[in-house]
Amino acid sequence: MKRIDGKVISDHIKALAAAETEQLRAQGVTPCLAVIIVGDDPASRTYVNNKKKACELVGIRSLEFALPGTAAQAELLALIEKLNADSAVNGILCQLPLPKGIDEKTVLTAIDPRKDVDAFHPVNVGHIMIGDPVLLPCTPAGIMEMLAYEGIDPSGKNCVVIGRSNIVGKPMAMLLMAADGTVTVCHSKTRDLASITSQADILVSSVGKPHFVTPDMVKPGAVVIDVGMNRDENGKLCGDVEYDAVAQKAAYLTPVPGGVGLMTVAMLMKNTVTAAKMQMTQQG
């Protein structure tokens, strides 16, 4: 079994983004990412700090806007409007989840699609749907980069995605389909899940339940991508996949931690550079 190393691949993506950033700087443009965090959720704070560190590494200017958990939706929307209008800001990211009383959909659709580096705006989702992506959702795009790096071509393969969220499951299915994979999306209402997953050449799990994917659900020689970020009964970070047991059957497997999570931040850097290049062309 080959362990797909998220650190090695994400470092590769960040190095490419850093080289592009340097080229942009030489043309007088410093890519800039604005991150908004509302409230004091510890997991969100960790994510935001990781994004800041990655920006420093790549040479992207990062701005942080921290609003209290009591902030009104109108205040958040006013901030987004201001950042939309600021030509020095290339990417805007609003860290999820948002506190109760703030409508996520309203907030995400307020971000200018050209600056939507998470690719959650309906305009960007539509582009992905018709196979004409501009900015790609970070986690699914990171998974596609992992497959490419390992020389795994989804074309003609049975690809099964467990989970149908707007953030991972649905766009993952679209990207695999765009790469000519034959895609099945499974979810909580799927009957006889193991009979479907055990046919998968490429299996992607984004359920959010520890030990959910067991060896009987995996085809011998499959590529297994674990998107889960969970805590097990001992409070230890783990994925959706029973790692040690599935490792006996799979040909490729991503670890947690050290797998897909690292790719998400790397792809955010790539999207910010892409957005900066796109906006430079439009302004020019």
Q: Judge residue 66's burial from the number of C-beta atoms within 10 Å of its C-beta, 0-12 exposed, 13-18 middle, 19 or more buried.
A: middle
CA distance 105 to 127: 18
Order of strands across the sheet that contains 202-205: 2-3, 252-253, 223-226, 202-205, 158-162, 182-186
- To which residue do tokens 């410093």 refer? 30
CA distance 53 to 180: 35
Q: Assess contact for 92 and 84: CB atoms under 8 A.
A: yes
Among the options 95, 115, 226, 270, which is catalytic?
A: 95
User: Does 153 participate in catalysis according to the annotation?
Assistant: no
- Pull the structure tokens for residue 88: 């020095």
User: Does 118 participate in catalysis according to the annotation?
Assistant: yes
**HEC secondary structure over 73-131:** HHHHHHHHHHHHHCCCCCEEEECCCCCCCCCHHHHHHHCCHHHECCCCCHHHHHHHHCC
> What is the C-alpha radius of gyration for the chain, rounded to an integer number of angstroms?
19
Which of 47, 172, 171, 34 lies closest to 97 in space, CA to CA? 47
User: Does 86 participate in catalysis according to the annotation?
Assistant: no
Which of 223, 241, 224 lies closest to 232 in space, CA to CA? 241
Among the options 14, 112, 115, 118, which is catalytic?
A: 118
Q: Assess contact for 56 and 95: CB atoms under 8 A.
A: no
Q: Assess contact for 21 and 273: CB atoms under 8 A.
A: yes
Which of 272, 275, 238 lies closest to 257 in space, CA to CA? 238
Q: Which residues are catalytically annotated?
A: 51, 95, 118
